[in-house]
A and B are shown apart, each in its own frame.
Chain A
């Protein structure tokens, strides 16, 4: 069977209702992950059933993003939510098991969460065609210790 992947953009208000519907339809929680995109924090909830993978995407703007916990619907979400809190400084309200920030104990708190942390380099602009200059190219390749 070939895989079918769908992506749905939702808002924080509709999250719990949507997750509850998927739970009654028999979906298994596959993963909950966050990503720092320039401008907002993106949170993806992936659910799997047979060959379908359905992803719900939240885009949270602002300095203190906050989501409600889905752990009273899927208990296994506690691990993902604690991890997102410890790495991204994402506030999750109402977790069934709250580690209070001690799930991942690291020397640097919230390593992915600082807005000053480097994000991936932006996409490069298309380069104009370079004329061939053999002597310069050879000098560029020399690596000095």
Chain B
């Protein structure tokens, strides 16, 4: 059977960010996928030589546009652990709240992209319409729609007054109603389910062996969520990982839809239990030591390895983003699928290539 090589990407309508896959196909069956990355490699890890450790929060936030807040939060957590800085409880709760809002906007963005990948453009528009409501809350409370700029070492920079929090509860109710309408379509519509069911089945053993994280791992039955580690306010607001057992694209979509409602629940609990108090602790001196911080981004577990030696600049800043851990799963899922399933498979791991290549 003669083979053809079809280049997929780096410019492709379904890709949010550039990645190149050279697909070797026989007729319509994909036989092999050769990846080519580094289109958006910005060398951010070497920025530590230029920016000092306090300013570096801004660089860490700009690694990715979709999961930006949790990048900044993980960086601050690592430095706070190295310098033994206690963060006040109100700051921890506010960070949790913004982190969950960030997760909601990321999952709604993903739902829109998945609808676009299967060709359902009106559902894509509806998902992003619901996401606009979340972005309006984020802009009103932090000042920016995409880059929040509120996390700093020792706490947070802005407060949300209690009246604003109560108003947020009302806005969350309407967001929840709209989200229920669109997730209903994703999970019950025959054409969407037909494109997602049975596509890209990742067994539990494979998911664990390939080092998958996040919803990709949880949809294959492994109950692991870094929020169980109890960072920020998750010690007081325990999170039960949402799992499914089928391991196909439909299960991954189902996990993300369920996580949307879980995040709304966590935000409501955080608002109900928000303590009063200071917003930050003053930080002086330089960090000396090293730490590995892990948090749960919308795409999975992110690992920040920071080494500092007492100078104003850090010695080493190493980020292992969740998409980097999920890429091997993509490379193993593609061989054996139909050509029309390639966009669904690429999006099902929720690729955030700018995170991957820093």
Q: Which residues of A contact B (CB under 8 A)?
A: 1-3, 5, 26, 28-31, 33, 35-37, 44, 46, 48, 50-51, 53, 55, 74-76, 78-79, 102-106, 111-112, 118-124
Contacts and interface: CB of A to CB of B under 8 A. Distances in A.
Q: Which 4 A-B pairs have the closest CB atoms?
A: A123-B310, A31-B320, A76-B328, A76-B211
A17 B210 CA distance: 19
B191 interface: no
A111 B327 contact: no
B230 to A, nearest CB: 6
A104 B37 contact: yes
A104 B356 CA distance: 11
Contacts of B46: 111-112
Given A3-B229, A104-B41, A33 B309 contact: no
> Is chain A's interface secondary structure helix, strand, loop, or mixed overall?
loop
A31 B327 CA distance: 13
B307 interface: yes
Interface string B286-305: 00100010100000010101
B37 A33 contact: no
B209 A75 contact: yes
B208 interface: yes
A118 B49 contact: yes
B43 A33 contact: no
A2 B230 CA distance: 6
A36 B303 contact: no
Given A3-B229, A31-B303, A120 B315 contact: yes
Contacts of A33: 305, 318, 320
Contacts of B228: 1, 51
Contacts of A1: 228-230
B93 interface: no
A111 B311 CA distance: 22
A2 B313 contact: no
B221 to A, nearest CB: 14
Interface in B305-358: 305, 307, 309-316, 318, 320, 324-325, 327-328, 332, 357
Contacts of B288: 123
A35 B290 CA distance: 12
A122 B313 CA distance: 9
A103 B150 CA distance: 35
Nearest to B356: A79
Given A33-B320, A51-B229, A120 B209 contact: no
A137 B303 CA distance: 42
Given A5-B292, A28-B208, A35 B309 contact: no
B38 interface: yes
B48 interface: yes
A115 B81 CA distance: 30
Interface string B31-64: 0000011100101011011000000000000000
Contacts of A55: 292
Contacts of A26: 208
A120 B292 contact: no
A54 B46 CA distance: 26
A20 to B, nearest CB: 13
Contacts of B211: 28-30, 74, 76
Contacts of B36: 102
Given A104-B37, A120-B309, A35 B316 contact: yes
B41 A106 contact: yes
A119 to B, nearest CB: 7
A3 B294 contact: yes
Tell me which of B43, B292, B305 has the highest count of chain A C-beta atoms within 10 A of its own C-beta. B292
Interface in B200-248: 208-211, 224, 228-230
Contacts of A50: 224
19 contacts: A1-B229, A5-B292, A35-B316, A46-B303, A74-B211, A75-B210, A75-B332, A76-B328, A78-B328, A104-B38, A104-B357, A106-B38, A106-B41, A106-B43, A120-B314, A121-B312, A121-B313, A122-B311, A124-B311
A1 B332 CA distance: 32
A120 B328 contact: no
A25 to B, nearest CB: 12
A53 B325 CA distance: 16
B358 to A, nearest CB: 10
B256 to A, nearest CB: 21
A36 B316 contact: yes
A134 to B, nearest CB: 22
A102 B313 CA distance: 30
